[in-house]
């Protein structure tokens, strides 16, 4: 256990200081790797933005929202998971999504990330230099968008059990075409920074739930993705471990100026995010950041 948490002391540092430790990691990001950028593609993810977001430049209010959803609907048979939801998220924002079970949080996350297509409505992703109509992309293009521009943390780590911790993280970079040695080096940097130094060679079965979840957090960010989606990332952990892991997640994302979109049931965790959205029956019923709520509420009220 003592071995497992060498980072406890560093977590007390200011996020900026602590996560400047990722400097070398950033330099190895695939966004600087010409090899993959030169490929023929139907969209260009925004390495520049993801790299620059750390500096907070993109939070400037005059910029268009980074992620902009309009009138999203999604139904499963008789169930309405999304009922005409609209939402704007700016680069560098940290957004907590709350709501009762079945209110459509996961569905919203999946639509925003291009995992599923809405029945109607649009999701617009604005990255410097280009903008992408996410829901209009073909599956392969959305898949590419997900692995290059987004990072994901699921409720259960869902790591690959045959691979060790290091390889699980490195694979995310290798999928983007980065060579293995550089990928493993970057992965090692992330594991170290998240308090898993010395556990690189452990298989996933040899890690605790909390450690596995940190590996998942490292995997989500090793590509330099500027937007991290997390769906109840500590839902399967006990409360003490949960607090630790959540702190690691928040500091490595919000602390580094990344955009975090997080589904949580925990008010305390939500309070650490810059903005809190509440959902009910596939609609937004609350938004701590003025402006957009009105639209969301108005829409809800009209029905």
Partner 1 sequence: MSAPAASPASPAVPDVPRGGSTAVVPWKLAWLLSRPGKSGGTTALLPMVAFGLVTTLLLTVLAGALSFLRWRDELAFLYQLLAVLALILLVFPLLTLGGSAARLSARRRDDRLATLRLLGATPATVAGVTIIESTALAAAGAVAGVAGYLVLAPAVQLIPFRGEPIGGAYWLHPLAVLAVVAGVVLLAAISAAVGLRKVVISPLGVRTRQAPATMHWLRALIAAAVVLAGFIAMNAGYASTAVAVACVLGAFAAGLAVLNLVGPWAVAVMGRQQLRKAATAEKLLAARSILESPKAAWRQVSGLAMTSFVAVFGGTGVAMTDGAPGPVSGPEQFLSGDIRTGILITIVVSFVMVACSAGVNQAAAVLDRTDLYTSLDHLGMPRKTMDAARTRAVMLPLLLVSLGSAAVSFVLIFPLAGMALVLAPLSILTIAGCLGAGILVVWAGLRTTRPVLGKVLAAGR
Ligand X SMILES: Nc1ncnc2c1ncn2[C@@H]1O[C@H](COP(=O)(O)OP(=O)(O)OP(=O)(O)O)[C@@H](O)[C@H]1O
Q: What is the binding site for partner 1 (CB under 8 A)?
A: 110, 113, 115-117, 139-140, 143-148, 150, 152, 154, 156, 158, 160-163, 167, 171-172, 174-175, 179-180, 203-206, 219
264 binds ligand X (CB under 6 A): no
CB of 194 to ligand X, least distance (A): 25
Query: Tokens 């695939």 label which residue?
Result: 30
Radius of gyration over every alpha carbon of the chain, rounded to an integer in angstroms: 18
Whole-number Å distance between alpha carbons of 286 and 96: 11
Whole-number Å distance between alpha carbons of 282 and 185: 42
76 binds ligand X (CB under 6 A): yes
Residue 298 zone, left/alpha/beta (φ > 0; ψ -120 to 50; rest): alpha
C-beta of residue 119 within 8 angstroms of C-beta of residue 131: no
CB-wise, 101 or 302, nearer to ligand X? 101
C-beta of residue 279 within 8 angstroms of C-beta of residue 103: yes
CB-wise, 61 or 76, nearer to ligand X? 76
Give the per-residue contact string, 214-253, with ligand X (x = CB under 6 A; - = no).
----------------------------------------
Contact region for Mg ion (CB under 5 A) — 88-96, 102-110, 179-187, 238-246? 102-110
Whole-number Å distance between alpha carbons of 14 and 77: 48
234 binds Mg ion (CB under 5 A): no
Whole-number Å distance between alpha carbons of 113 and 129: 19
CB of 24 to partner 1, least distance (A): 22
Backbone φ and ψ for 212, nearest 5 degrees, come out as -60, -40
CB of 110 to Mg ion, least distance (A): 9
Whole-number Å distance between alpha carbons of 123 and 107: 13
106 binds Mg ion (CB under 5 A): yes
CB of 202 to partner 1, least distance (A): 10
CB of 102 to ligand X, least distance (A): 4
Backbone φ and ψ for 85, nearest 5 degrees, come out as -95, 135
DSSP 35-67: HHHTS--SS---HHHHHHGGGTGGG-TTSPPSE
CB of 277 to partner 1, least distance (A): 21
Give the three-state DSSP class for 295. helix
CB of 231 to Mg ion, least distance (A): 6
Whole-number Å distance between alpha carbons of 137 and 124: 11
Could you say which of Mg ion, ligand X, partner 1, none residue 11 binds, taking C-beta under 5 to 8 angstroms by partner kind? none
Residue list 100-139, contact with ligand X (CB under 6 A): 101-107
CB-wise, 98 or 172, nearer to partner 1? 172
Could you say which of Mg ion, ligand X, partner 1, none residue 87 binds, taking C-beta under 5 to 8 angstroms by partner kind? none
- Residues of this chain that interact with ligand X (CB under 6 A) are 76, 79, 81, 99, 101-107
Q: Which residues bind Mg ion (CB under 5 A)?
A: 106
């Amino acid at each position: 256990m003592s071995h497992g948490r060498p980072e406890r002391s560093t977590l007390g540092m200011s996020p900026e200081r602590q996560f400047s430790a990722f400097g070398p990691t950033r330099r190895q990001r695939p966004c600087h790797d010409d090899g993959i950028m030169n490929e023929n593609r139907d969209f260009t993810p925004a390495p520049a933005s993801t790299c620059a977001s750390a500096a907070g430049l993109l939070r400037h209010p005059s910029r268009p929202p980074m992620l902009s959803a309009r009138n999203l609907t999604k139904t499963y048979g008789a169930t309405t998971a999304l009922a005409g939801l609209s939402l704007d998220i700016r680069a560098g924002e940290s957004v907590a999504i709350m709501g009762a079970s079945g209110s459509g949080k996961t569905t919203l996350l999946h639509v925003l990330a291009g995992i599923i297509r809405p029945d109607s409505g649009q999701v617009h992703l604005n990255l410097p230099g280009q903008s992408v109509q996410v829901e209009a992309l073909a599956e392969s293009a959305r898949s590419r968008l997900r692995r290059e521009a987004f990072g994901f943390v699921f409720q259960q780590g869902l790591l690959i059990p045959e691979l060790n911790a290091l390889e699980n993280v490195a694979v995310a970079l290798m999928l983007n075409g980065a060579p293995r040695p550089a990928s493993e080096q970057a992965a090692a940097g992330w594991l170290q920074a998240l308090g898993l130094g010395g556990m690189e060679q452990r298989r996933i079965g040899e890690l605790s739930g909390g450690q596995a979840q940190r590996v998942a957090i490292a995997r989500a960010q090793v590509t330099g993705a500027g937007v991290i989606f997390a769906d109840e990332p500590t839902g399967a952990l006990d409360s003490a471990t949960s607090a630790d892991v959540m702190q690691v997640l928040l500091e490595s994302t919000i602390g580094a100026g990344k955009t975090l979109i997080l589904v949580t049931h925990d008010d305390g965790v939500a309070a650490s995010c810059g903005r809190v959205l509440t959902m009910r029956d596939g609609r937004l019923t609350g938004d701590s950041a003025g402006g957009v709520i009105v639209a969301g509420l108005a829409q809800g009220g009209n029905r």
